[in-house]
Amino acid sequence: MKNKIRLGMVGGGKDAFIGAVHRMAARMDDKYEFVAGCLSSTPKKAKISANEINLDLNRSYPDFKTMAEEEAKREDGIEVVSIVTPNHMHSKPAIAFLEQGIHVICDKPMTATMDEAYNLYNAVKKNDLHFLITHNYSGYPLVRELKSLVQNGELGNIRSVRGSYLQGWLGLKEEDTGNNKQAEWRTDPKRSGAAGGVGDIGSHTLHLIEFITGIKLQSVAADLSTFVKGRKLDDDASIFLRMENGVKGSISVSQIAVGEENNLSISIYGEKASLKWNQENPNQAEFNKVGHHKQILTRASFTPSKGSFANVRIPPGHPEGYIEAFAQLYSDFADLIRNKNGSKDIRKILPNEDDGLHIMKFINSCVYSSNNNSKWINLDTI
């Protein structure tokens, strides 16, 4: 592809998980060229990381501020930066690049604190640049088609929603083993923020419910638990939802559900039909219409609805998964930056600063509710 978008990255160096995922996603549709990075907050480690992935060492920077300033001076400087650091290091780097006229892709959740979220939100609006939050599950072709089914009225009025995200990887105190970097920062309130599991995977669950239904959350009543002794943040949660249009629902989140891997499931119940989807089998979904036999939708069993952007890359029987869904967000964001045909419609479905701020309100509302005997909290009060 000619005129590839020049991409930089903050974070994602040696021993990181999500940085490599972002780089693979950016490469998949050949719309980006990865040219610069500040891959670690430790300059020595940043250089080692750059060398390992064959990044030009002249464009491996010791800190994000230097990177933003130097890349902005170059004629061939980056056009987009991916922020793939722990949550507490999302806001300042993102703002630094926005102020230099550089678009931002940011891992979720948007920030660690509400103050940081508002600062970043205002910076995006002030600089009038594109901003993407990587809620990657919304990139699955079948998920996008389910969204179209709801929009086209196939379910009738939505009545209730159910979401659960169950993992077992934190069933023991992994953060104390000294060899699990992900556990260390995700359970640390200084780096993760006010919530643990709710911020990490509850954020994905809410976004997916809202993405498919087009209906926004208004208030929550939450019960957050910390089952592993000595852990500082929640590792399990039960959350009741009150949404627009009188829709009710619930979200169950756990990272101590021993035996579970990455069991994210969504159920949408309307007056005429229901939909069920599970991330561990993302190429199939259930579509149940009143008075009809259960219908199994597969990635290849439908012609994508106009405007769904349910893009399919490979033939039937060849599953598309996590990396492809991530890549779809990168691909769509590239088209948005290049103002390709349909980019205005693409903007409507990509998770942006509005979604990021809204989900930060959800996370902090859950924490506040749980700390106050699970009373109902309106997101607008946060």
Q: pLDDT tens-digit profile of 74-83?
A: 999 999 999 9
pLDDT bin (cut points 50, 70, 90) of residue 14 is confident
pLDDT bin (cut points 50, 70, 90) of residue 298 is confident
Helix (H) or strand (E) holding 332: helix 322-337
Interatomic CA distance for residues 83 and 380, integer angstroms: 27
The whole-number average pLDDT for the span 250-262 is 98
Q: Is the pLDDT of residue 296 over 60?
A: yes
**pLDDT at site 220:** 98
- Judge contact between 142 and 287, C-beta under 8 A: no
**pLDDT at site 305:** 65
pLDDT bin (cut points 50, 70, 90) of residue 184 is very high
Q: Residue 241 contacts by C-beta under 8 Å, 6 or more apart in sequence?
A: 161, 209, 217, 219, 220, 247, 248, 249, 250, 251
The C-alpha angle 314, 17, 23, rounded to 5 degrees, equals 50
The whole-number average pLDDT for the span 362-369 is 98
Interatomic CA distance for residues 181 and 169, integer angstroms: 13
Closest CA to 361 of 168, 133, 125, 118: 118
**pLDDT at site 308:** 59
pLDDT tens readout for residues 89-117? 999 999 999 999 999 999 999 999 999 99
The whole-number average pLDDT for the span 217-224 is 98
Burial 306-336 (b: 16+ CB within 10 A, else e): eebbbbbeeeeeeebebbbbbbbbbbbbbbb
Q: Is the pLDDT of residue 1 over 50?
A: no
- The highest-confidence range among 13-27, 136-150, 309-323, by mean pLDDT, is 136-150
**pLDDT at site 83:** 98
Q: Is the pLDDT of residue 272 over 90?
A: yes
| CA 12 from centre of chain | 16
Interatomic CA distance for residues 159 and 87, integer angstroms: 34
Q: Residue 178 contacts by C-beta under 8 Å, 6 or more apart in sequence?
A: none
| Assigned token pair, 378 | 């309106």
| CA 249 from centre of chain | 21
Half-sphere exposure of 371 (CA within 13 A, CB side): 10
Q: Which residue has the tokens 């989900």?
A: 359
- Judge contact between 306 and 250, C-beta under 8 A: no
Q: Is the pLDDT of residue 377 over 70?
A: yes
pTM of the model: 0.94
Domains and CATH numbers, the chain: 5-129 (3.40.50.720), 140-314+353-371 (3.30.360.10)
Give alpha helix (H) positions in 9-108: 18-28, 43-52, 64-73, 91-98
**pLDDT at site 44:** 86
**pLDDT at site 85:** 96
**pLDDT at site 43:** 84
Number of Cβ atoms within 10 Å of the Cβ of 160: 16
Taken in order 335, 340, 344, 346, the sign of the CA dihedral is negative
Q: Is the pLDDT of residue 356 over 60?
A: yes
- What is the average pLDDT score of the chain? 94
Interatomic CA distance for residues 176 and 321, integer angstroms: 32
Number of Cβ atoms within 10 Å of the Cβ of 261: 11
Mean pLDDT check: name the lowest of 94-108, 174-188, 325-339, 340-354.
Answer: 340-354
Interatomic CA distance for residues 72 and 119, integer angstroms: 22
pLDDT bin (cut points 50, 70, 90) of residue 302 is low
Q: Is the backbone peptide bond immediately before 62 cis, with ω within 30 degrees of 0?
A: no
The whole-number average pLDDT for the span 274-295 is 95
